Copies of this chain bind each other. A is one copy, B any other.
Amino acid sequence: MKSTTFELDKVAQVLKLLGDKTRLTMVAILNHRECCVCEFLEVFTMSQPSISQHLRKLKDAGLLNEEKRGQWVYYSINTESELYELVEDLLQYVPDQVEQLNKIDASKVNARCNC
């Protein structure tokens, strides 16, 4: 039952990051599978730079991995992060995001990036 504890500041930082609807949704989607930026464009009604900036914040905090393959950049949850345990736990309380994955699949993006 008792889990690892982290510095309060670190916990607060993660909660603040995931306290944003867009970022929480992103992480919840990535909990299903990795995605590239162009896929998130199908999910959010938001400019591409905005999406990239959210992903960057999550990456800078160590919560996401970033991997460039060809002209695409793939983001995935960093399961090696010391804070992964917390993130994984939090995601239990969020409804699964298959709906959003369907949006992506319904679009034609996958044909290009093969995400």
Q: Which of A44-52, A73-81, A87-95, A103-111 binds B?
A: A87-95
Copies of this chain per assembly = 2
Size band of the interface chain A makes with B: 20 to 34
A: residues with CB less than 8 A from B are: 1-9, 11-21, 24-25, 28, 85-86, 89-90, 92-95
Sample of 16 A–B contacts (CB below 8 Å): A1-B92, A4-B93, A5-B92, A5-B93, A11-B93, A11-B94, A12-B19, A12-B21, A12-B24, A14-B19, A15-B15, A15-B18, A15-B19, A86-B93, A89-B89, A89-B93
Is the contact region of chain A dominated by helix, strand, or loop, or is it mixed?
A: helix
Q: When chains A and B are docked, how far (Å) is the Cα of A4 from the Cα of B9?
A: 27
Which B residues are CB-close (under 8 A) to A2? Answer: 92
